């Protein structure tokens, strides 16, 4: 923290305002099974639906359905091509029963680190037995095995005896993010 304070005192103040679990890996939860600290999922999503955002909701939903179907197909095909394989050596404490290593990479990612792999091989066991289920090809294929079905035509939707929803009240727009 002293070194960081020398570089930028505001950064230290920002860190002190936050919970350590929000900014330092020592306090991160190990539930996520991902070592990716940042992502741009929102930006990618928004760029993919940009041309449909100002369209009627059904058009937007159809666009989302198409994008999701294309992604599922691409990932399903990618999973068919995967071959499974495995790396080595330092001085770290590895607990195969708890699936943990003192380097903590295995705990955070769910993938055995090189220290764990060395211990697994020393026991003449299969490395793949120690990989978290969320990374297994079977799990990946199971996620993408379902299909997205088309919506029924509006004419065969069940009729409702309730009043149709009113449009939202118009608010003063900031014009931000609009075409």
The torsion angles phi and psi of 40, rounded to 5 degrees, stand at -120, 40
Q: What pLDDT sits at residue 92? A: 82
Q: What pLDDT sits at residue 96? A: 92
Tell me which residue has tokens 């009240």.
169
- CB-CB contact of 130 with 154 (8 Å): no
* CA angle, 116 then 99 then 117, to 5°: 15
119 versus 83: the higher-pLDDT residue is 119
For residue 166, count other CB atoms closer than 10 A to its CB.
Answer: 6
- CB-CB contact of 100 with 106 (8 Å): yes
Q: Does pTM top 0.75 for this prediction? A: no
| Domain boundaries, given as residue ranges, for the chain | 1-30, 35-150
């Amino acid at each position: 923290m002293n070194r960081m304070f020398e570089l930028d005192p505001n950064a230290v103040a920002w860190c002190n305002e936050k919970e350590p679990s929000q900014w330092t890996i020592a306090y991160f939860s190990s539930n996520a099974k991902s070592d990716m600290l940042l992502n741009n999922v929102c930006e990618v999503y928004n760029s993919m639906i940009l041309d449909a955002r100002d369209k009627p909701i059904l058009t937007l939903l159809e666009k989302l359905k198409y994008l999701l179907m294309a992604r599922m197909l691409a990932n399903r095909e990618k999973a068919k091509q995967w071959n499974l394989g495995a790396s080595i050596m330092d001085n770290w404490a590895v607990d195969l029963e708890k699936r943990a290593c003192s380097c903590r990479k295995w705990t955070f990612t769910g993938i055995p680190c090189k220290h764990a792999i060395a211990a697994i091989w020393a026991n003449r066991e299969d490395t793949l037995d120690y990989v978290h289920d969320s990374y297994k090809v079977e799990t990946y294929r199971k996620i993408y095995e379902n299909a997205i079905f088309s919506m029924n035509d509006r004419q065969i939707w069940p009729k409702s005896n309730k009043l149709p929803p009113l449009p939202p009240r118009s608010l003063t727009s900031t014009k931000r993010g609009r075409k």
